[in-house]
Amino acid sequence: MSKPKILVARAIFPEVLAKLSQHFEVSSNQADELWSPAQLIAQLQGKVGAFTTGGERIDAALLVACPDLKICANMAVGYNNFDVDAMTAAGVLATNAPDVLTETTADFGFALLMATARRMAESEHFLRAGKWTKWGFDMFAGSDIHGSTLGILGMGRIGQGIAKRGAHGFGMNVIYHNRSQLDAATEAECKARLVSKEELLKTADHLVLVLPYSAQSHHAIGAAELALMKPTATLINIARGGIVDDAALVHALRNKTIAAAGLDVFEGEPKLNPDLLTVPNVVLTPHIASATIPTRKAMAHLAADNLIGYLTQNKALTPLNPAVVAQRPSL
Ligand code: DGY
């Protein structure tokens, strides 16, 4: 009997391809080409499963053009590349890759916060450019992390990981704003207190964004929000591009209405607002918060296990629209 056909839309670990090949006839993009929507549709013809990485848009138009598709497994916790409602309507299962990247991403959020507050990138560029000729009493003076107020917008698992690092490791006073309040035990573990968005913006010395991207969170941090922040504050975005209005942020950084920003995600990435490259008080990284080899392997294996589980046993590990699993006739 021939094996079901799947597509792996981006280059991935050979060991994950080998695992998938035990169950499926795998077409893979090991050349790591960036496909247009039309090219993705063409590649998906006859495929029942897709292994995606967050950059491939799965929407109603694609679903109509790919009637054989049964599951798209994202190798990312974020899934704003999926139109989950359209997938549910089309009977296509959506899965993401939560949990396995929580601690690695929280580590990175904290690293970016420290690099930004202590002006590490800016001072390194200065040194590399041969400009360091003498010590100065206020040279690259930044802001303290220990004992300061850490604000977190979006208090899911990664937000909680950052809160714990701040509270327990650096004695920070942690405040957060979220759609819903954490239970008392989790709040105690994170030493975190729920506040309004306005209080968060006005009070935080360091504000970390960890909320999912949606139409509701688009430009959650724009000119009005930046104006509420302290002139000494730092802003860190490890969530998704589009949550911050990057043009408004450039304006705030240039005018020093906030002190600095650390960005791992950008509107329209991998392109970014070119003005960001002209402001010194911003640390820029290319969407690498989850990028350690063990974590990226765990994410890839989870996506693969979702494909194998669903297509061979009707079971998915991390479904986003579990109703699709329930409606599918047993194999
Ligand atoms: C995620 O998993 O959502 C990270 O942003 C990596 O893409």
287 is known as an active-site residue = yes
Which of 103, 189, 199, 269 is catalytic? The answer is: 269
Burial class (CB in 10 A: 0-12, 13-18, 19+), 242: buried
pLDDT confidence of residue 327: 84
180 and 300 in one domain? no
Q: Indicate whether 328 pLDDT > 90.
A: no
Residues 185 and 248 in one domain: yes
Residue 85's domain comprises 5-100+293-327
Measured distance CA(26)–CA(50) in Å, rounded: 10
Which residue is closest in CA terms to ligand 1's atom 1?
Answer: 76
Together in a domain, 316 and 262: no
For the cut 90, the answer to whether the pLDDT of residue 329 exceeds it is no
- For ligand 1, the distance from its centroid to the CA atom of residue 150, given in whole angstroms, is 22
Whether 243 and 116 map to the same domain: the answer is yes
167 pLDDT more than 90 = yes
Q: Tell me the best of 10, 80, 105 to mutate to test the pocket of ligand 1, counting ligand atoms within 8 Å of each CB and taking the most.
A: 105
Residue 1 pLDDT exceeds 90: no
- Are 116 and 260 contained in the same domain? yes
Ligand 1: centre distance to CA 1 (Å): 36
| 239: CB partners within 8 A, 6+ apart | 78, 154, 209, 210, 211, 212, 213, 265
How many C-beta atoms surround the C-beta of residue 96 within 10 A? 24
| Ligand 1 binding pocket includes 77 (Cβ within 6 Å) | yes
Q: Same domain, yes or no, for 200 and 216?
A: yes
Q: How many domains is the chain built from?
A: 2
Beta strands 71-74; 93-95: pairing state: parallel
Q: How does pLDDT run across 9-19, given as a tens digit for each residue?
A: 999 999 999 99
* 86-145 pLDDT tens trace: 999 999 999 999 999 999 999 999 999 999 999 999 999 999 999 999 999 999 999 999
pLDDT of residue 331: 63
234 touches 179 (CB < 8 A): no
> Tokens at residue 210, please?
């960890």
- Ligand 1 touching residue 76 (CB < 6 A): yes
| Percent composition of the chain: helix, strand, coil (DSSP 3-state, to 5) | 40, 15, 45
pLDDT given at position 266: 98
What is the pLDDT averaged over residues 215-237?
Answer: 98
Catalytic residue selected from 240, 267, 296, 301: 240
Task: Indicate whether 123 and 70 sit together in one domain.
Answer: no
**Mean pLDDT (whole number) for 155-172:** 98
For residues 246 and 273, membership in a common domain is answered with yes
Q: How far apart are CA 256 and CA 258, in angstroms?
A: 5
Average pLDDT value for residue range 33-58: 97
Predicted local distance difference test score (pLDDT) of residue 204:
98
Q: Is the pLDDT of residue 238 over 90?
A: yes
Is the confidence at residue 6, as pLDDT, over 90?
yes
Domain of 68, CATH number, reads 3.40.50.720
| Calpha distance 31→193 (Å, rounded) | 47
In this structure, the answer to whether residues 258 and 111 fall within a common structural domain is: yes
What's the CA gap between 326 and 322, in Å, rounded?
7
Q: Are residues 112 and 92 in the same domain?
A: no
237-to-70, 116, 213 alpha-carbon distances in Å:
33, 11, 12
Do 189 and 79 have their domain in common?
Answer: no
**What is the share, in percent, of the chain residues with pLDDT greater than 70?**
99
Mean pLDDT over the full length of the chain:
97
Question: Which of 137, 262, 269 minimizes the C-alpha distance to 207?
Answer: 262
Cα(220)–Cα(199) distance, rounded to whole angstroms? 15
- Shared domain check, 256 and 267: yes
